[in-house]
Structure 1
Amino acid sequence: MNYNIAVIPGDGIGPEITIEARKVLDKIGEKYGHHFNYTEVLMGGISIDTYGVPLTEEALAAAKKSDSVLLGAVGGNVGQSDWYSLPPDLRPEAGLLAIRKGLGLFANIRPAVLFHQLKAACPLKDEIIGEGFDFVVIRELTGGLYFGERGTTTENGIRNSFDTLRYDENEIRRIAKRAFEVAMKRNKRVCSVDKANVLDSSRLWRQVVEETAEGYPYVELTHMLVDNCAMQLVRDPKQFDVILTENMFGDILSDEASMVTGSIGMLASASLGETKLGLYEPSHGSAPDIAGQNKANPIATILSAAMMLRYSFDLEEAADKIEGAVKTVLEKGYRTIDIMSEGKILVGTKKMGDSIVAEI
């Protein structure tokens, strides 16, 4: 089979880690008789430098024509880059919001798995993590504060600003359905996270999630306030199976989840809509401080490519092969600097990618 992939290397370490993911995909193609065609697309800071905007109409059109999109990372260090002197709608991250919206990607799926080989890198105590944990955060991606009406004004010489958190029941229902469907393939438990004790939007969220749950009688639904969830993730992450939440809460909780797995460099993600077209990216940022130094951990991007095979191309065996190769490489002791521990073998970005390719 031939598959067309739009590759967005982006900024910072993005180009380095997407190269390693492409090497892994090419090896999968060689092993299973598939061919992956890559079209490189500019987005983020590099697009600003080239075209003056973080995402051009042409770049979005190229992404729409593809079977799937693989993204590295976008942005730079706030305060150290001229990109952040621009208006918010012209900064690198605005390109990410625009492509999610343009592709209709409303569901972000972020697995949080503690590989037993990385228990030493986990900041939690052994009695908390036990034999490890495996849960997934499902975050609504195209609504809420990030897409609501906003503005900054001056009244009577005093500056004030506002951001609007808005959801309608259809937006909530479709992400809730996705969470219940994922739970049906896992351990059949959904924890819906909100702030229903304070926010009207959360009260509607909770009502619609409960209505949706009626169609999934085999899934256990619980609710948790977001501040409690943040505490529970470090107190007992094993209690979770599927965490369902809105955009901003999901942004924060999924980053917290990445750190209890040992490193944000291990956390893959998939952004999906109603079709098979998805956007796959690591959960970490562009890490400009280590860009070009062969230090970045490519595993999150490689695991994101595995998610692409599973969710967009229905290549379950190939996806399993990549994930198995990652586990084998970790079992052999190879570590990038972010997950390094005593007695292990320190390797760079390229060596880690090559080692995973060798196990496929």
Structure 2
Amino acid sequence: MDPKPLIFAQSLVLSGPARDLGRNFIKGIDLYLKKVNDQGGIDGRPIMIWRLDDGYEPENAYNNTSQFVSYSQLLGLFGYIGTPTTKASLPLAKAAEIDIISPFTGASVLRGENNAYTIHHRASYADEAKRIVDYLVNDGFVRIAIGYQNDSYGKDVLNSLIEELADPHMLSPVISVPLVRNSRDTGNAAKEIKAHNPDALIAISTYQTVASLIQNLNSQGSYPQVMTISFTGTKSLIKELPRHTSFGIGVTQVVPFPWDLRNPIVRDYQHDLRHVDSDAEFDFVSLEGYLIARKLVSALRKASPVINRSSLRDALLEENDGLISGGVEVDLVFLGTDPWQP
């Protein structure tokens, strides 16, 4: 008789404009889980993930989650991608008393006492907002524009940015412009931003929308210092832009530097990835997937041999020394300044 698998479910973006986020994320997750399963899994039990594509749309994520929670053997909802999708799914998870584990989001709306069924392993968007604002103001940028995705993700980061600008810096954005999720239609937003002559732009969306906004601004003769956060997708953003356009964009990061071989976890990640694909590219998103898979496996080993939703939850909370960042909560990298870039 085959050992009973340990089953998780994941709603994530695998199609549409933000698809690279999902594809790179599961590359890291599957890399680590395959290694563990090849070595016998958890006391002989393989770890399996049931996945459905949501296209980074909340309604799809809700429908996917509705299917997931009806399965009685499900141990958890793992590695959901995005704030609007995770937020839409949370009421179903709460009703079924199933945890959403390690979602790829730093939104404040999904944290705190009112969200007992989410277990986080990444820094918050508020932490990333502080890192960006502090850098800009300390370097003399005070005319700061914000382009934000017009949903729970963008508004969450927008609120954090406004709060950080106000206190302690006593500033406010020169303009805040909404951007449509999953869209390259940013021409009008670029015109509005250019009209306010910012010296810096904080762009909050996914890589294709951010790239479109930057290119539209540049085509109109506006070249502000651009900053964005980890969820954008660093490597995908680089690939969306001409090299000269991407140069100097600042991106916050919440995982270790994927090319830093001084870090033992990064060495493991690179070794495992090159073992299955000698030509594979390293990136921040797949490393995050790899790291949350490690967290999950460690918790499963602690919970074994009696693994159920409750014992896994207890083990995850013990394991939750918080972050997957390797000691530095939020880092800041600038594109075009390092040899790792294509």
| TM-score, with structure 1 as normaliser | 0.31
Q: Taking CA–CA contacts closer than 8 Å with sequence separation of 6 or more, which of the two structures ends up with the larger relative contact order?
A: 1
Q: Higher strand proportion, which one?
A: 1
| TM-score, with structure 2 as normaliser | 0.32
